[in-house]
Each structure stands twice: as structure tokens, then as C-alpha cells.
Amino acid sequence: MFDKVLIANRGEIACRVMGTLRRLGIRSVAVYSDADARAAHAALADESYSIGPAPAAESYLKIEAVLAAAKRAGAQAIHPGYGFLSENADFAETCARAGIVFIGPPPEAIRAMGSKSAAKDLMEKAGVPLVPGYHGNKQDPKFLAAEAKRIGFPILIKATAGGGGKGMRIVERQEDFAQALASAKREAAAAFGDDRVLLETYLKQPRHIEIQVFADSHGQAVHLFERDCSIQRRYQKVFEEAPAPGMDPARRAEMGAAAVAAAQACGYVGAGTVEFIAEGNHFYFMEMNTRLQVEHPVTEMITGHDLVEWQLRVAGGESLPCTQDQLTIAGHAIEARIYAEDAARDFMPATGRLARLKLPEQSTHLRIDSGVRQGDGVSVHYDPMLAKLIVWDRDRPSALARLRAALSRIEIVGVTTNVPFLAAVAAHPAYGAAEIDTGFVPKYLTELMTAPAPASDEVLAVACLAELLHRRAEAVSAARKSSDPHSPWHDTAGWRLNVDTHSRLAFLDGESEVVVTVHYRAAGYRLALNGKEVSASGELGEDGAMLVEFNGHRFPAAVVRHDGDLVVLLRGATHRLHLADPLEAVADEAEPVGRVAAPMPGKVVQVLVKPGDTVRRGAPLIVLEAMKMEHRLTAAADGKVTEVFYAPGDLVEEGAELLILEDGGVGGDAK
């Protein structure tokens, strides 16, 4: 076993690997970019080293910088995590030349499976079933268009060099193929440095089933059963579970044998995942990920084995800890990925600072893998995943109940997250009934994106209490510092001469104003809101935690002050209220009608219009690349382009005005 291991990654996976290293008594070494100088993984490691500027290409993807840190630290091995250099054969070879063990498969296996087209050729020879399509090397657009027509629409375009939904497009019609191909190639080139693609028949109601495989250097290989990863958005996984619902033992054995055959066909060593697409009674090979997967915890939960420990032992030359007949399934596990993203805006990644981060406590039934802490920033430079919530229980219904409960206990303020979306999926009857396929999210999107409900009486009462208790605390503090601590100017009991003791609070709930009249009482307050009167009292903690009594009902809540608003956290829901200041000047903040702004920081990839063009509503205007994905900005209404402020290659900040689109008649030449 090794004495010291460097983790060539960041965030959640770096912290997770360090947990196993610490348990085994192995010293951990972290690397960090300028943006991650104060990150959790850098602080958690036994020692850490700076490797360059914030962009991944200048730090985490810079092989020489990572190896220099390993040599300086005296690390014997490097764990690549997932993403970044984890499937880079050149990196694995460079480690070997430097005398450092790469905790992953041999470079030859990475190369064999790193190209989806080459992998399909290898799988075809090994007898593993493939989806009908084209996976050759010829990349001429006209040839690919002809192949697409031969295969038949709908067609799926996929980057040969990567995954995560990058460089992937579904094309329904022949006339849309050229544009989709160009976009997929651009995105693939930006994400993987390789714009080659393959074509496949698009299966309309498939399930995404993957098999965890492990092989050692002594010729032994096993599978650790399957995971269902069908719940996806933008071709990226959101929920994963093991075992797959409805999987019978015969199909499990058949798919497991095919996965092991795939691993052995490329001389595999270490942890890997063979991904299949399944529809009806058939399953087809998609790709093999030559690394540990994001969703590996659900496999660990149902098997009781630490897969990172297995990686370390196999990389150190040991045999696999178990044979196939010694591996068993116990219970059911589900993982939900918590992202900084706005589900209502097509899952657009979000940035900001985590003003509050409170996750459920871990237990035998609940695990949290995270690489961020309260106060950390979420930047545009890296993947926006904040944490993974993994639950386990004796069966799927019990695990699902734990998942729903755990999601309701998450408190995050400062960045928009997908937690409400995750809760909506977990609560959906079709998900509860395991009626799932890769089209689940698009099919039920309208139901999963319910508009925020108006603030309830309880929410308004909590916000009022938070403000009143905050004012009282400030008054007490001022009195302690005052030369006259008994001055009536420090009193917050609402006392007035010859009149009822009351005050008025006005909240903006979205676009609606809600006025609450507060009547002061000896024990708490009487609130007049929404045409009724209620009693309320409470205690406010330093972190915004509250114990509230509302009409004789006591419950916990929390209120966080953020960007001038009161954010109320109650029973798993988040409500943002703005407390109107009567002394505020009302500024005219109306934006120009035709203002098209960048929804987030990024790089302009394409400008599809020029001044003078007329466009119809929904027409594409600009393609922006951010967080490794392309985002197409479209016209919100018919109009005429009068000015364009940026060109391809320009970097833009969030909110930057990209172009002006004036209202006006649209003629027949509109785009």
C-alpha cells in the first residue's frame, strides 16, 4: 500500500478520496488553482500545492504542473478522481515515466475506450451488442449527413472523445442535421479537444443502465452489479439508483457478463463502468468510462465495499478483494446530485457565494459527499455540482421515503440550486412507481417546474418575527453601548402615547406587495395579515435558526439576510421576501425593451445575426459557451437587430448587454 497519494482533482471527489486515504492511514496531497486557494479540498488534505490560474486548462489539466506537485510532495501515486485528467492516456503514461503510480487503468485501455467509435469496434469483435449507427473515422459533414439519412431519423450525434452530454445532439429531421452537427462538433472540441462524432439510432424510450466493473493485474475481473441512471437533464445524470428497478437476476447476469467481457477485451485494470442503453428486451453497449463514476456511492451502499480502497489495492498490485460469487446486493440506494443551477431557465448553471449551506446529518442510512462549505464561492470555471445526497434502506420505497425527507432538510442560500426540482422528481408518482426512462424529465417537465407559491401566512409570520427580533437585538446592543442604557430610544416594544402599540411592515413577494400590521403584546406579537389576525412569537439564533410559535403551533424555521432580502427556509421550501423601506427612492429600473443580456459569464461562440437583420420570436441570436456547455440565446419577440456589441471569442460577464433588438414589423426576409 502507498504512504502518500496526490489527488489530481478538486471539490467533492477530492474530499471523498481523502476520506478513504485517512481511514487507511495514507497521507493525502491536494492541488489547487488560484480560484481554489481556500477551497475545502485544499484545507482537508495533509498538504496542498498551487498549480496555476483558475481556468482548468492552466491548472488541473496541466500535466507538468500536477506532476511537479507530486514530485515535490514525494507522492508515490496519483488518484485522478473523475473528469479532468482521469481518462487521459498521456497523463497515465507520463506518470509511469516519472515513477509515479497512476491509480487507474493502463494507457492502452484508456485509449481503446476513450474513443467511442474505436470502443464500438472493439465491442463488436467481443460480441457485445451495439446500437445501430455509424462509428467510423470519416468525418466529412456531407458523408455524415448521408449516413444519418441511411440510419434513419431521429438520430443521435455523440462526441467520440467524451461524455456528460457534451457534444451530444438529438436530430429529428434531415434539414436540422447540418446545424446540429456543427454545434456538437464545436462543443466536443471545446470540452475534449477532439471534434469527432459518431451517429446512432435514437431510441425513444430507453433506460440508461450501467455496470460497475473491476479488474486486477492478475487476470481477475468482476462486476459489482448495475445502476439505473435514466433520470437525466441535458443528457446529464441527476438521479442514480442501485439496483436498477425491475432488474431480474437473469438479465443482471447477462449484462454483467457482457460488461466483464468488455473490460477484458481491452486489458482493463482498476475501476470502470460499462454503460448500456436498454429498451424492451434488448440492451446495447454505449461506452465505457475508464474511471470511477460520480454515482459510485450507490454501489458502495448496496455492496458494503469501498471502491476507492479497491482502486488503491489494485493499483498497488494486490488481487481483487472478492470473487464474483462473494459479491451480494443488500437493500436499495438512491443518489441525487445537488447542482448550483436554475432549473426554470433550462438548468442554466448558477454562480454566487454560499451564504448558508446546511445539509442533513450523515448516518447509516444517509451519506453526503460534498466539496463546498458555507461561505465558499461557486465560480464559472468548474462544474456546478455542490454535493451528492445518497440514501439507503432495505427496499426502494423505504429509500425513496428517506430521500424525500432528506431533500426537505437542505438549506442553501446564495446561489440558485436544483433542490426544488429534485424534490419534485422524488415526489412524482411515476418516479415512485419506477416508471422511468431517459425521457422522464422532458415528459413531465411542466409538472416538475411548478411556479413558486405565494408566501403563506406562516412564511410571512416567520419573516416578520425575524425582522422584529433582529431590531430588538440591535436595540439591546445599542443600549449596552449607550451612556444611558434605559433611554426610551432603545425600546422596541412599540410603545406609543395614548394609541395601540403597533407598526407596519411591507414585503414584496415577487411582484406582489403584502402588508403586515404588527401589534405588540407582552408575550410576542399579534399580526394582521391577509385579512386575518394571528399570534406569533419566537427565538432567533445567531445563524438565523428560529423556533417559532404560530397560533399555538411550534415549529423550526430559518431566515437568512441576503442581498437586502429576507430568505425564509421552512419545511424544505425557500421563500425570498424583500422588506420595503418607506424611505427608499423609487428608481426607474426598467430595462430597454430589446435588451439581450448574458445570463451568466462565458465566451461568445457564435453571433448569428448582424445589425439590420429582422428576426422572429424564438430565432437564435448568439451562442454562449459557459461551464463547458453551449447555451443558445433566442429572440423573445419579433424585432430588428440594431446593434451587436460582441464578436466570437469575446469573454462576457453576467448581465453584459450583447445586442439590441428593437420592436418592429418583420418582413418576409426574417431569420
Round to whole Å and give the CA distance between 308 and 530.
Answer: 56
49-67 core/surface letters (b: 16 or more CB in 10 A; e: else):
bebbebbbeebbbbeebbb
CATH architecture of the domain with residue range 132-201: 2-Layer Sandwich (3.30)
Is residue 492 over pLDDT 60?
A: no
Task: For residue 416, count CB atoms less than 10 angstroms from its CB and return exposed for 0-12, middle for 13-18, buried for 19 or more.
Answer: buried
Q: How far apart are CA 109 and CA 118, in angstroms?
A: 11
Domain 457-579: CATH class, spelled out:
alpha beta
**pLDDT band, residue 585 (cuts 50/70/90):** very low
pLDDT band at residue 627, thresholds of 50, 70 and 90?
Answer: low
Give the pLDDT band of residue 356 (cuts 50, 70, 90): very high
Q: Residue 611, Cβ neighbours under 10 Å: how many?
A: 11
- Catalytic member of 291, 396, 402, 576: 291
Out of 66-75, 102-111, 628-637, 638-647, pick the least confident: 628-637
Which neighbouring-strand residues pair with 596?
A: 659
Phi, psi of 19 (to 5 degrees): -60, -45
What are the domain boundaries of the chain?
4-103, 132-201, 207-420, 457-579, 595-662
pLDDT digits (tens, 9 = 90+) for 147-168: 999 999 999 999 988 776 789 9
Domain 207-420 - what CATH class?
A: alpha beta
Active site residue 22: no
Weakest-pLDDT range from 34-43, 495-504, 515-524: 495-504
Q: Is the pLDDT of residue 659 over 80?
A: yes
CATH number of 595-662: 2.40.50.100
Q: Are both 207-420 and 457-579 of the same fold?
A: no
Of the pLDDT bands very low, low, confident and very high (cuts 50, 70, 90), residue 581 is: low
The model carries a pTM of 0.83
What is the DSSP secondary-structure string of 305-347?
Answer: --HHHHHHHHHTTPPPS--GGG----SEEEEEEEESEEGGGTT
The span from the CA of 377 to the CA of 395, in Å, is 37
Whether residue 120 has pLDDT greater than 70: yes
Whether 44 contacts 30, CB under 8 Å: yes
Whether residue 201 is predicted with pLDDT greater than 80 in this model: the reply is yes
Instruction: Compute the mean pLDDT over every residue in the chain, rounded to the nearest whole number.
Output: 91
Share of the chain above pLDDT 90, in %: 73
What was the pLDDT predicted at 491? 54
Distance CA 373, CA 295 (A): 21
What does the pLDDT look like over 465-488, one tens digit per residue? Answer: 999 999 888 888 777 777 666 665
Q: What is the mean pLDDT of residues 634-641?
A: 88
Taking only the tens place, the pLDDT of each residue in 539-559 is 988 889 999 999 999 999 999
pLDDT bin (cut points 50, 70, 90) of residue 564 is: confident
- The helix (run of H) or strand (run of E) holding residue 229 is strand 221-233
User: 522 pLDDT band (50/70/90 cuts)?
Assistant: confident
Specify the CATH number of the domain 4-103.
3.40.50.20
pLDDT of 499 higher than 60? no
